[in-house]
Amino acid sequence: MATKITTKPKSSSKAAEKPKKATKPAARSKSTRTAKARPSRSASDWAAKVRSGPTFAYMRAPGLEHAFEVGDTVEVFCDHEKNGDRIRGWIKGIVVQVDNKMVAVQFRSNVFLTDGWMVPDRILWYPLTSDQIRSTGAKKAAVKKDFIPDY
């Protein structure tokens, strides 16, 4: 018995195209967007901008109530130890470092962060404008020099 092999007839070019995926028709809004042309900037416009300089928003200088100096005695509202108990309140400290935005205060007793950790070097940093730091009015104690007479 002879087996007859048949082949499919060649398809036309339309059948060879890939079938298109079914997609939803895009809903178009009634308003159409038009591209706005930007005015061209000439070299003189750029030169005028450079001459006037860039505009920056600078921080204002701290007022007298926020003027701390190294050695000042301040009071700070924080968690600290008093008589063996941990309390949250005002405690005196000494300013040990000041920069443009922050002030570092060192204490003689243990102080704690808000999440409960004790600060090993007993130094807390505060922003200059913080309401949790205030000056006590006392400046650092003047060092008394021993008077050495000339003989």
Token pair for 76: 């700070």
Q: What is the mean pLDDT of residues 100-117?
A: 92
d(CA 109, CA 86): 11
**Percent of the chain at pLDDT exceeding 70:** 50
The predicted-structure confidence for 33-91, as pLDDT tens digits, reads as follows 666 666 666 666 656 665 665 555 656 555 555 678 999 999 999 999 999 899 999 99
Task: Kindly report which listed range (4-8, 12-16, 24-28, 67-71) carries the lowest average pLDDT score.
Answer: 12-16
Q: What is the pLDDT of residue 63?
A: 55
